[in-house]
Amino acid sequence: MRRIHTYKPIIGIVSGMEYIDKGIYQKTVYCVNEDYINVICRFDAIPVIIPYSNDFKNMEIFLKQLDGLLLIGGEDISTACFNNKSSENKRDDFEIKIYNFFKKLNRPILGICRGLQLINVAEGGTLKNIVDTKISHFIEKDGWINYHNMNIVKQSKLYTIINESQYTISSLHHQQIDKLGNNLIVSATADDGIPEVIESNNSIFIMGFQGHIEKCFNNFKKYENIFKNFVEEAKNGKK
């Protein structure tokens, strides 16, 4: 009997960068939290870590082999990026280039935490610090992660995917969207009005979550639907 192979989409994850103390010197390493790797594997896709490269032209050859892009958490995005200037953090510039590359190919993009903010900035939006809010969006000094309600717009892709007008999301951010980027809509807000989810205003799967939904499956099962849809969109791109 002939064996039928089911195609598994390949999802690119842009790495973070850290400096490890080796005693008399520091070593630069590229790294990705294992939660992001595990969540892609959980939904039957193949995670591939994307390292930084100054040679983006050659990097494009590699990126074309990928079916979807996951933008993950990390440090603040430089305000220089708000004015289309080069950032002092090479991760900012690199991720914006990759975002635009995947968007041009119409391949699905999912952003988490910093990833949402990167999508917004790449589309010409800006960010600002959170001040004077009745909801705690921060991680506490003892490591406690706050959860809160968000209100979902019924005319959004998000609503179609999870079929809820309200849902719970985690908060680990001290910045929020100020000016919304082009080609985006806010599909969910916290009770204080701070955007929690954004998405593209067209049929392309581009969605960003301010909270870490990859950590919430045990208590909030419907976030599984987000990753299932993301992976399915990536798989369909190869048909």
How far, in Å, CA of 116 to CA of 121, rounded?
9
Q: Decide if 153 contacts 186 (C-beta within 8 A).
A: yes
State the pairing for strand pair 68-71/10-14. parallel
The per-residue pLDDT for range 74-133, each reduced to its tens digit, is: 888 999 998 777 888 888 999 999 999 999 999 999 999 999 999 999 999 999 887 766
Nearest CA among 111, 64, 65, 100 for reference residue 209:
111
Structure confidence at residue 9 as a pLDDT band (50, 70, 90): very high
Mean pLDDT value across residues 221-229: 96
Q: What is the pLDDT of residue 235?
A: 93
Report field, pTM of the whole predicted structure over 0.85: yes
Using CB atoms within 10 Å of the CB of residue 33, give its burial: 0 to 12 exposed, 13 to 18 middle, 19+ buried.
middle
Domains of the chain with bracketed CATH:
10-236 (3.40.50.880)
Q: What is the pLDDT of residue 87?
A: 83
State the pairing for strand pair 46-50/146-152. unpaired
Distances (CA, A) of 235 to 66, 81, 140, 181, 232: 10, 32, 38, 27, 5
3 has a pLDDT exceeding 50: no
Q: What is the pLDDT of residue 22?
A: 79
How far, in Å, CA of 181 to CA of 120, rounded?
5
DSSP the chain: -PPPPPP--EEEEE-EEEEEE-SSSEEEEEE--HHHHHHHHHTT-EEEEE---S-HHHHHHHHTT-SEEEE---SPPPGGGGGTPPPSSHHHHHHHHHHHHHHHTT--EEEETHHHHHHHHHTT--EEE--S-SS--SBPTT-PBEEEEEEE-TTSHHHHHH--SEEEEEE--SEEESSPPTTEEEEEEETTS-EEEEEESSSS-EEEESS-GGG-TTT-TTHHHHHHHHHHHHHHTT-
Q: What is the pLDDT of residue 137?
A: 55
The per-residue pLDDT for range 135-158, each reduced to its tens digit, is: 665 665 555 567 788 999 999 999
How far, in Å, CA of 82 to CA of 80, rounded?
5
Nearest CA among 214, 223, 200, 7 for reference residue 109:
200
Q: What is the pLDDT of residue 52?
A: 87
Q: What is the pLDDT of residue 1?
A: 44
Mean pLDDT of the chain: 89
Structure confidence at residue 20 as a pLDDT band (50, 70, 90): confident
The per-residue pLDDT for range 155-186, each reduced to its tens digit, is: 999 999 999 999 998 877 788 899 999 999 99
Q: Decide if 174 contacts 138 (C-beta within 8 A).
A: yes
Structure confidence at residue 30 as a pLDDT band (50, 70, 90): confident
Q: What is the pLDDT of residue 49?
A: 96
The better pLDDT of the pair 221, 6 is held by: 221
